[in-house]
Every structure is written in C-alpha cells, then in structure tokens.
C-alpha cells in the first residue's frame, strides 16, 4: 500500500524514489533495505544515526551522528550545561524541551531530574525544599523553585553567567532536536522528496532521464 502511494506520487512528479517491496526502496539508484522501520525509527530517536547504522546505511549514520551530536554538545557547552531541562511551572515554562526531546536518549535525563524536583517541591507554596539535591551534580536539572521573572533566581543567574551563550546554546540544542526528527523520518520511510525548486532545476538539466524513469513506472 505504502509502495503504491510512492509509485503514484512518482509518476506525477519526478520519480526520485520508488518502492520495491514494503521495506526495500530504490533511491538515487541505490537499493536500501529499511529492515524493521519502527525499530530503526526508535533507534534513531534514542541515538542520532543509530537507526541508519541498524539499516547498514553507515555513511549516513556517521554523518548524522557527527552533525547532530556536535550541535547538541556545542549548545550544551555554550549554555554552561543548563540549557536542557524539563520544566512546566508558572514563570518557567520550558517549551524548548519539547523540541530538544527530539534528541531522545540525550535529553532523557532531564525528565528524571524534573521528576525529582517535583517531588522535592511543595505543591502549595511552590518552593523547593532545602534538602533537595539533584542527581549527577545538577546535570539537566531544572532551576530551584520558585522561578519568578520579576526576581533574581537561578535562571537569571545562568543568563548572567553565560550571556548570549545561554540563548545560543538553547537554540543549538533545539535545532539538534529538530534535525533528529528529520533523521527519524529518514530511518522510518527513506529520504524525503526533493523540494520543488530543486526538482525543477534537475528536470531542466536532465529531461531525458525523467522521461525514461516515467516510462519505466
């Protein structure tokens, strides 16, 4: 069914990718066995490039691992190690984490830390108890409660310490998470289609190839 969809799409536009069977696709003249797609997607989410490694697409696996992990680590370093944390309390709704979570395994410690601080915070007063101690020296731990924009708190201290690096670090890690979502899709369903702009140019360059491919389908 999935293969039929791909073929019909290919006849309407440039047939960049054709399905051979349910799990084998032909892209750029290369036959790719996607193996267990769901498992590949899960692996890709846990570790960038792991899904491609499982599918024996080694070059892409290394490419994704290096690119995405570099952006993630660099962002982490720029932000002083405090740019990734999960928090959804008044004054500190960290929506960035939703996007950073695309990194899977690398972002999971933040959830453990969030659960720990939740237990250590009084739900009525919203104040973290004095005996609270985060795991792993505060790695991916949310700031102490309460967090109020009008007052000096731990978040403002992080900003003050890192300056623009905190913002940049946040964006680096957010972008790494978003890029990994593309990689997860690639592991699950193969390469995305080429954008329309690129397709026009290619068809202009190679009209004969396109026709022959259409005829083949």
User: Under the rule (CB under 8 A), what is the footprint of another protein?
Assistant: 27-30, 32, 57, 59-60, 63-64, 67-68, 70-71, 74, 78, 164, 168, 171-172, 175-176, 179, 182-183, 185-186, 191-194, 198
Considering the complex, state which of residue 68 and residue 86 has its C-beta at the smaller distance from another protein: 68
CB of 138 to another protein, least distance (A): 25
Considering the complex, state which of residue 89 and residue 181 has its C-beta at the smaller distance from another protein: 181
Instruction: Judge contact between 54 and 146, C-beta under 8 A.
Output: no
CB of 189 to another protein, least distance (A): 10
Considering the complex, state which of residue 134 and residue 191 has its C-beta at the smaller distance from another protein: 191
Residue 7 corresponds to which tokens in the numbers above?
A: 């073929």
Q: For the chain, give the number of residues.
A: 217
Angstrom distance (rounded) from CA 95 to CA 156: 17
Considering the complex, state which of residue 106 and residue 176 has its C-beta at the smaller distance from another protein: 176
Residue 47 corresponds to which tokens in the numbers above?
A: 């570790």
CB of 59 to another protein, least distance (A): 6
Angstrom distance (rounded) from CA 147 to CA 136: 22
Q: In what order do the strands lie in the sheet with 24-27?
A: 17-19, 24-27, 30-33
């Amino acid at each position: 069914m999935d293969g039929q969809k791909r073929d019909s799409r290919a006849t309407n536009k440039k047939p960049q990718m054709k399905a051979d069977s349910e799990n084998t696709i032909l892209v750029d003249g290369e036959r790719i066995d996607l193996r267990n797609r769901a498992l590949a997607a899960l692996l890709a989410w846990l570790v960038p490039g792991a899904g491609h490694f499982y599918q024996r697409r080694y070059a892409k696996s290394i490419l994704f691992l290096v690119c995405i992990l570099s952006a993630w680590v660099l962002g982490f370093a720029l932000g002083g190690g405090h740019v990734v944390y999960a928090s959804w309390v008044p004054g500190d709704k960290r929506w960035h984490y939703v996007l950073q979570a695309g990194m899977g395994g690398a972002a999971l410690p933040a959830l453990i830390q969030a659960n720990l601080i939740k237990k250590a915070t009084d739900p009525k007063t919203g104040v973290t108890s004095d005996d609270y101690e985060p795991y792993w020296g505060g790695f991916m731990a949310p700031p102490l409660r309460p967090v109020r924009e009008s007052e000096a708190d731990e978040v403002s201290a992080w900003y003050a310490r890192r300056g623009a690096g905190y913002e940049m670090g946040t964006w680096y890690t957010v972008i790494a998470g978003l890029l990994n979502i593309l990689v997860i899709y690639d592991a699950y369903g193969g390469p995305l289609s080429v954008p329309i702009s690129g397709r026009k140019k290619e068809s202009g360059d190679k009209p004969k190839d396109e026709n022959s491919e259409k005829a083949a389908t």
